[in-house]
Structure 1
Amino acid sequence: MKPRIEAFFESVTATISYVVYDEPGGSCAIIDPVLDYDPKAGRTTGAFADKLIAFVEAKKLKVEWILETHVHADHLTAASYLKERLDGKTGIGPQISTVQQIFKKMFNLGAEFVPDGRHFNHVFADGEIFTVGKLTAKAVFTPGHTPADLSYQFDDAVFIGDTMFMPDLGTARADFPGGDARQLFRSIKRLLANPPQTRLFMCHDYPPATRQPQWECIVADQRAGNIHVHDGITEDDFVAMRTARDKTLGAPVLLLPSIQVNIRAGEMPPPEDNGVAYLKIPLNVI
C-alpha cells in the first residue's frame, strides 16, 4: 500500500516534518517534528507542532509512531509535546546510545541521565520491519551525518533525514561528534541503489533565491544531478570535498539547546529545586 504524505515546512529552521498515513480515519506516523524555540528568551511553544495536530485530528488519524531520523542539531524536537497530546511511540535508530554518551560527557550530565536509549520507546535495528496501520515500513541505517542516522522506507517513499538535500544543495555535513564522511558516502550510495523512481523526502531545504522550498525528488534526480554525489563521484573525492567544506561551516544556531533536548526524545532536563528546567552552555568546547 502506498503511503499518503503530508509535508509541513518550518521556515525558521528550514525543517520539513511529515505525517505519513494509510487513509483518512486510519493510522499515521509523524517524522521529525519541530518544537518552536526562542533562543533570546529561552522559551518553547508548540505553534508549529499544533499544525501537525490539527491535520491529524482533521483526518481522524491514530498516531502510532513519532519517528526521528537522528538527534537533530538545528531544532528542538516536538516528539514529547506530540506524545502528550496524541500518544504514539517514539522511535530512533541504532547507535543512539553512542550519541547520548558523547553529549552526556560534553554537557557533564548527572547520574539521572543514562545513555542507553531508554528515553525513546523503541530503538530500531537496521532492516527492521514495522507497521503503521495498513502500511509496512522498513528502518534503514544510514549513519555518517551522525552515528545514529536512520531512514524510513514506506513502499516507494524514503524519508532520508540529513543524508542528502535537494540535488542543487548537495549533502549534509559530517563533522559533528561521531560523524564520518566516508560512512555518509556509503549510506548515500545505499539509498541511491533503490530503483530510479523511488521517491526521496528531505529533512531540510535551504533554497536559493531562484526557487521556493522543495523536499521531494527521485533517486534518478540525485544520481544525475546532486552536486556532491552524482554518478561518477568516487568515495575519496567525496570525502575530500566534504572534509574541506565542513571546515568552513560554523555551528548551527540551535546546536547547544537542541542536542540537550533531543537526546531525551524531546523531554526537557529535570527541573531544579526552584521548579525551573535549565539548558547548559559549555564554554570553549565546540
Structure 2
Amino acid sequence: MPEPKVHELFEPVTGSWQYVVADPTSSSAVIIDPVLNYDAAKGVISTQSADELIKIVTDKGYKVEMILETHIHADHITAASYIQATLAKDQDYKPLVGIGGRIRNTQKMFGERYGIAASEYENVFDRMWEDDEAFSIGSLTVRAIHLPGHTPDHMGYKIGGNVFVGDSIFHVDIGSARADFPGGSAEAVYNSGRKLLALPDETKVWVGHDYPPDGRRAPVPFVTVKQHREENKHLKDGTHEAEFVETRRKRDATLAAPRLIHPSLQMNIRGGRLPAPTASGLRMVHLPLQVPDSPW
C-alpha cells in the first residue's frame, strides 16, 4: 500500500492540528478534525481555517471522500458540516462525515444536559465506525482504532505508517490528554497510550493539539512511536500504570474547563451543524450559570 501524502494545518487560537490526508495514486483524500474559528466575546463564527483546508484540497486537485472526527471536541467547534456543504456546492460531490460508533451515548448525554432535541443531533454523522473497522480511501486502507480515556468514544485512524490520534496523547514534552471529562479515565488513557506505543517504531503519531511550553518551540504535528517510547513525559517506556494515573489525576485537578467548552459541545454533537434559528432569527447556544445558594 502506498504511503499517504499528509498536509498539516495549525490553528493557533485553540492549538489544534488539522490534516488533509491524500492517496497519491488516486487523489482521493480525507480531512481529519477540521476547525471553525469562533470569537467567544462577539459570538461570531468564521471559516478562515476551514477555507485554508479547502484551498489545499482545491489546489492539489483532491477529492475529499470523508471528513473524520476523532471525538466530540470540547475546545473547538468542528468545521465538518461547513466543509461538507461547501464541497457539495462548489465541487459537485458530498464527502461523508465519520466518527466512532460510541458517539451516540455522548450525543445523548450532552443533548440532555443542554436541552437539545434529539432530532437536532440524530443522523448527523454518515458513518459510525466500530472498533478496528477498516475502510478505503482510494487505494489507502484506513483502520479505526478505539483510544478511550480522554473521552469514552475517542477514535484514532491508522493510515499506512501513520496514526492520527486526536487528543489521546500529545507531543513528548506535554505527554497525554486530560481524563477528567464525563466518561474519561486516566487508566484508559494509559492503556490507549500503550496500545499506540506498541506500533512499529517508525510509525508517525500525528496529534490533535500542541501547546508549545512558553513559546520555546514551534508547534509539532508528529513524532515517531520510537520517540514517544523514549521521551514522552507521561508514557515513555518504564512508566507504570499506577504512576501515570497518579500524575494524570493530580494534573487534571489543576485544570480549568476549556474556554469554548459550552458552544463546542453543543455544536459538535450536531456534527458542526448550526442550531435551528429561533422565531426572531437568532441561532442560540446555551451557557449554564454557576450560582451560590441564595433565597432568590
The answer for the alignment partner of 2:294 in structure 1 is none
The answer for the alignment partner of 1:103 in structure 2 is 110
Aligned-pair CA distance for 1:111: 4.8
Aligned-pair CA distance for 1:25: 6.4
TM-score by length of 1: 0.96
TM-score by length of 2: 0.93
The answer for the alignment partner of 2:145 in structure 1 is 140
- 1:183 and 2:188 matched: yes
Task: Report if aligned partners of 1:157, 1:201 keep a CA contact under 8 Å in 2.
Answer: yes
Task: Report if aligned partners of 1:34, 1:49 keep a CA contact under 8 Å in 2.
Answer: yes
Unaligned runs of 5+ residues in structure 2 are 88-93, 292-296
Letter in 1 for 2:53: L
Letter in 2 for 1:91: G
Aligned-pair RMSD on alpha carbons?
1.3
Letter in 2 for 1:102: M
The answer for the alignment partner of 2:91 in structure 1 is none
- 1:255 and 2:236 matched: no
CA distance in 2, matches of 1:118, 1:144: 25
The answer for the alignment partner of 1:125 in structure 2 is 130
Task: Report if aligned partners of 2:29, 2:137 keep a CA contact under 8 Å in 1.
Answer: yes
Unaligned runs of 5+ residues in structure 1 are none
The answer for the alignment partner of 1:52 in structure 2 is 53
Letter in 2 for 1:132: I
Task: Report if aligned partners of 1:24, 1:61 keep a CA contact under 8 Å in 2.
Answer: no
The answer for the alignment partner of 1:37 in structure 2 is 38
The answer for the alignment partner of 2:216 in structure 1 is 210
Structure 1 residues 199-246: Cα deviation after superposition (integer angstroms, max 9, x where no partner): 100110001222111111000111111111111111111111111110
SS of 1:49's partner is helix
The aligned length equals: 283
Task: Report if aligned partners of 1:25, 1:60 keep a CA contact under 8 Å in 2.
Answer: no
**Residue number among 153, 162, 166 corresponding to 2:167 in the alignment:** 162
- 1:230 and 2:236 matched: yes
The answer for the alignment partner of 2:287 in structure 1 is 281
Residues 111 and 13 of structure 1: is their aligned pair in 2 closer, same or farther, counting only changes over 3 Å?
closer
Task: Report if aligned partners of 2:176, 2:189 keep a CA contact under 8 Å in 1.
Answer: no
Aligned-pair CA distance for 1:284: 2.3
